[in-house]
Structure 1
Amino acid sequence: MLILGNGRVITRDVKNPYLENGAVAIDGATIKKVGSLDDVRAAYPRAEFMDVKGKLIMPAFINTHEHIYSAFARGLSIKGYSPDGFLEILDGQWWTIDRNLTLEDTYLSAMATYIDCIKNGVTTIFDHHASFGAIRDSLFHIEKAAKETGVRSCLCYEVSDRDGKEKAKDSVIENAEFIKHALKDNTGMIAGMMGMHAQFTISDETMELAAANKPDGVGYHIHVAEGIEDLHHCLKHYGKRIVDRLYDWDILGEKTLLGHCIYVNKHEMDLIKDTNTMVVHNPESNMGNACGCPPTMELVHKGILTGLGTDGYTHDMIESWKVANILHKHHLCDAGAAWAEVPQMLFEGNPQIANRYFEQKLGVLEEGAAADVIVMNYDPLTPFGADNCNGHILFGMNGRDVVTTVANGKILMKDRELQHIDEAKVMADCRQAAGALAKRING
């Protein structure tokens, strides 16, 4: 048994939201007790004690839309790449990268991403993978990295016709085989979905193939209306809006996650709401690709389960929160916008999304919940408590303030040192693989 204590505790438990000098007792993969330092230590006097020395204890973060395959894009220069619009960004950069990835590249990209997640206090991710140069077994290579690093992962492969029917078929099969594998997993750390790129790269034939091969009990993870071009394509080729097309293919539902949803109207929002479908907002990616600002505040106000992701742009969920906060204020010309909605997405929406795939309760420090806990090095210079802790996190912290990360009851990082990973070797291997990738791309 392990006790983390002698710090401020933000629990995200509405019945017991904050403890000035508290502790969290962990037994195996589960939180056993949350309370005052004296009470918890008295209850378990023989437990190993980690003194956080006044630092902040809180639930680990969840990222509901990641892209592991983008890890080697950092600093990559592609010859002739000068995009004019979102479609040229996709084809000129992201699809060029994923067409050149090997299975080893995918594994190392996952290792690099998971290391960054741990360092930013993220212990659960929903990843949307693409590696059209090496499709089959790619999700299993990511799972290998997930198990080695200890990060809870819901994985899928990006089905698309963009590289032909055979690769689309391989993508569907990769999803189906991994989902079946994940459904047999009893660790509570791995799940699978039927991944799809976006409707504008998926024909009716491939939609039918995906539906026929999707095991029961899981949904889809798909980009929706990320660019205006996606909407225009759907209207031109199918005579309907994107969410209507997805509805007609029975893609919507409580297990399905829609990424972005920038160009959706009120009718589509009603369909999303009525089908209890999930949405994830990725503010930095939307801004960086000049795709536009989604009606996220309206989605949240309508009662649609909405989460916060990064789209691979960062692995720091506080950074994503900061950007979402100012994006919607700026877009709506309303300084009062996004104060409540974005932390709701991060601290309530993301755990609810995750708990549609993982049984043990996530995102909260309470008895019986998953033992996913982080310690942050933060010394407040103004009063700190349950009523203003979000303001302290938003304006006073970032992901690199995480000093200790515990996932599923295992200490993954302590005092900024990874505990079970040879980080120097992984980074050396990544640098070598990323250099080789750049040479393949640029000839």
Structure 2
Amino acid sequence: MSALLITHGTLVTWGTENQILSDHAIYIEDGIIQAIGPSPILIKQYPDAIVLDAKGQLVMPGSICAHTHFYGAYSRGMAIPGDPPPDFPAVLNQLWWPLDKALDADSVKASALVCLVDAIKHGTTTLVDHHASPNAIEGSLDIIADAVRDAGLRAVLCYEVTDRDGKEKMHAGIAENVRFMTAASDPLIRGTFGLHASLTLDDDTLRACVDAIPDGGGFHIHVAEHEADEEDSLARSGKRVVQRLDDYGIWRENTIAAHCVHIDETERQILQQRGVWVTHQPRSNMNNGVGAANIDHFMAEGMKLCLGNDGFSNNMWADWKAAYLMHKVVNRDPRRANGADIATMATINNARLVEQFFPEQRIGELSVGAEADIIFVDYKPFTPLTAGNLPWHMIFGFESSMVTSTIVQGRVLMQDRQLLTLDEAEIMAQAFELAPMVWEQYTRNARNALQSG
């Protein structure tokens, strides 16, 4: 891998002590940041490096998405048969479950690729994906991994185990997770063990998953996204979701609990005691009308709270903005969701989460020895920009169109808004060609679900 020298950047370092450094340079070798210093000094020190001139743009760590669903790409613009779903269980039954059943190997690949194009263009360099394709389970994670590899991004992948499609497919989902997790590791791709949610997992399935997971592995599961998850758990076990899953050993220091909108204080304490990572998806929560997690309390109590997008666009700054605004209106209190807390979730906490899967690597900061996952942002502030007020500049000033270059592990994936690793036009054309088949199959599945419901 060639040495790369980024020059004349306004560096935003993030990390535990964020700094903004004017006219600085970054020297990268073997995908790692080897030196940081004033541009004139590093230009003289590394005369043979390939130079990428930032021209005064902000140079900062790439964004990280802590919870997403590539397979949802084909939902864009799609009509849902029947009356509009009145609540989240109906959304699952009329939209997501019929859609994931409509996917085959080709559409799994296409949905991943369009999301990866979107991620590169929006400066999101690492994604934690949660996949489901009940009629194309075996090898589905390899298909997604190949797409991630072609894109050059960093990702953590899993398959969603559930009982909703029968025991044969449940066991196939377990096998897909185990196979992928135990396969030879890729420098930029890791696996974890996906579970849907307590409400679609019976006791025998939970035991089977815990028995099958490779040593040291963790789970990635939806938790209390809607009250129905809690109601189901109470009916099954007499316990709330977190307590029920705790009995089976689901909660580990590398387990991800997505949403946690309706957990109570006892459940929160269990998650904190077990060291579980909780992810917040504000755009999705608003769209599904499920409510708002108590993120201010989570942060005040020192929870490991992260930020995801749940399959929305990979413009993570949109979720910064949504989180900042959502909790103010829900609570009718402008003090909620402080910008500094949003920044901590999205940068420091998201980076520490990803490091659970890349334990030998330092991610999400510009420092010597860190992974060179970097973006350029063409943001020209008209008020003072400091390390202290940066979160509010990002929430009120940053737009996704301002990302001009994206780099992962020292490899340039986009330069001056030109994609270098993926052919966007070809990918979009291929995805568009498959769309009528996916939509037709989805519509049949959705109508069947309405009739059976």
The bucket for the TM-score relative to the shorter chain is over 0.9
Q: Which residue of 2 is the match for residue 313 of structure 1?
A: 312
1:328-339 to 2 correspondence within 5 Å?
328-339=327-338
SS in 1 for 2:130: strand
1:293-372 to 2 correspondence within 5 Å?
293-339=292-338, 340-359=340-359, 360-372=361-373
Q: Deviations over 1:64-111 (max 9, x none)?
A: 101000011101113325212111100100101000100111011111
Q: Which residue of 1 is the match for residue 450 of structure 2?
A: none
Q: Deviations over 1:143-172 (max 9, x none)?
A: 010101011111011110011111111111
Counterpart contact for 2:10–2:23, Cα < 8 Å: yes
Structure 1 residues 15, 287: CA separation in 2 closer, same or farther (over 3 Å shift)? closer
- The Cα of 1:45 is off from its aligned counterpart by 2.0
* Letter of the structure 1 residue corresponding to residue 372 of structure 2: A
Q: Which residue of 2 is the match for residue 17 of structure 1?
A: 19
Q: Following the alignment from structure 1 to structure 2, what is the Cα–Cα distance between the partners of residues 234 and 15?
A: 42
Counterpart contact for 1:12–1:365, Cα < 8 Å: yes
Counterpart contact for 1:9–1:19, Cα < 8 Å: yes
SS in 2 for 1:63: strand
Q: Following the alignment from structure 1 to structure 2, what is the Cα–Cα distance between the partners of residues 281 and 180?
A: 28
Q: Which residue of 2 is the match for residue 195 of structure 1?
A: 194
Q: Which residue of 1 is the match for residue 107 of structure 2?
A: 105
1:394 counterpart = 2:395: yes
Q: Following the alignment from structure 1 to structure 2, what is the Cα–Cα distance between the partners of residues 103 and 258?
A: 27
Q: Deviations over 1:18-74 (max 9, x none)?
A: 202111111121111122212222221221111111111000011010100001110
- The Cα of 1:311 is off from its aligned counterpart by 0.2
Q: Which residue of 1 is the match for residue 34 of structure 2?
A: 32
- Match among 118, 122, 138 for residue 120 of structure 1: 122
Q: Which residue of 2 is the match for residue 250 of structure 1?
A: 249
* Letter of the structure 1 residue corresponding to residue 239 of structure 2: K
* Letter of the structure 1 residue corresponding to residue 277 of structure 2: M
1:233 counterpart = 2:232: yes
1:79-158 to 2 correspondence within 5 Å?
79-80=81-82, 82-158=84-160
- The Cα of 1:331 is off from its aligned counterpart by 2.1
1:8 counterpart = 2:7: no
Q: Following the alignment from structure 2 to structure 1, what is the Cα–Cα distance between the partners of residues 309 and 421?
A: 26
Counterpart contact for 2:375–2:406, Cα < 8 Å: yes
Q: Deviations over 1:353-395 (max 9, x none)?
A: 0011113111000011001000011111111222222221111
Structure 1 residues 414, 352: CA separation in 2 closer, same or farther (over 3 Å shift)? same
* Letter of the structure 2 residue corresponding to residue 79 of structure 1: P
Counterpart contact for 1:377–1:403, Cα < 8 Å: yes
Q: Which residue of 1 is the match for residue 374 of structure 2?
A: 373
Q: Which residue of 2 is the match for residue 51 of structure 1?
A: 53
SS in 2 for 1:323: helix
Counterpart contact for 1:10–1:59, Cα < 8 Å: yes
* Letter of the structure 2 residue corresponding to residue 343 of structure 1: A
SS in 2 for 1:129: coil
Counterpart contact for 2:18–2:387, Cα < 8 Å: no
Counterpart contact for 1:78–1:441, Cα < 8 Å: no
Counterpart contact for 2:233–2:239, Cα < 8 Å: yes
- The Cα of 1:14 is off from its aligned counterpart by 4.2
Counterpart contact for 1:278–1:353, Cα < 8 Å: yes
- The Cα of 1:189 is off from its aligned counterpart by 0.7
Structure 1 residues 387, 201: CA separation in 2 closer, same or farther (over 3 Å shift)? same
* Letter of the structure 2 residue corresponding to residue 99 of structure 1: K
Q: Following the alignment from structure 1 to structure 2, what is the Cα–Cα distance between the partners of residues 336 and 139?
A: 42
Counterpart contact for 2:13–2:61, Cα < 8 Å: yes
* Letter of the structure 1 residue corresponding to residue 392 of structure 2: G
How many pairs are equivalent?
440
Counterpart contact for 1:81–1:93, Cα < 8 Å: no
TM-score, normalised to structure 1, is 0.97
What is the RMSD of the two structures over their aligned residues, measured on CA atoms? 1.2
- The Cα of 1:317 is off from its aligned counterpart by 0.6
More deviation, 142-151/15-24:
15-24
Counterpart contact for 2:148–2:155, Cα < 8 Å: yes
Q: Which residue of 1 is the match for residue 430 of structure 2?
A: 429
SS in 2 for 1:70: helix
Structure 1 residues 222, 80: CA separation in 2 closer, same or farther (over 3 Å shift)? same
Q: Following the alignment from structure 1 to structure 2, what is the Cα–Cα distance between the partners of residues 364 and 59?
A: 6
Structure 1 residues 81, 23: CA separation in 2 closer, same or farther (over 3 Å shift)? farther
Structure 1 residues 190, 80: CA separation in 2 closer, same or farther (over 3 Å shift)? same
Q: Which residue of 1 is the match for residue 209 of structure 2?
A: 210
Gaps of 5+ in 1: none
Q: Following the alignment from structure 2 to structure 1, what is the Cα–Cα distance between the partners of residues 113 and 352?
A: 26
Q: Deviations over 1:256-307 (max 9, x none)?
A: 0000001111111111111111100000101100000011111111111110
SS in 2 for 1:412: strand
SS in 1 for 2:135: coil
Counterpart contact for 2:15–2:348, Cα < 8 Å: no
* Letter of the structure 1 residue corresponding to residue 350 of structure 2: N
Counterpart contact for 1:81–1:92, Cα < 8 Å: no
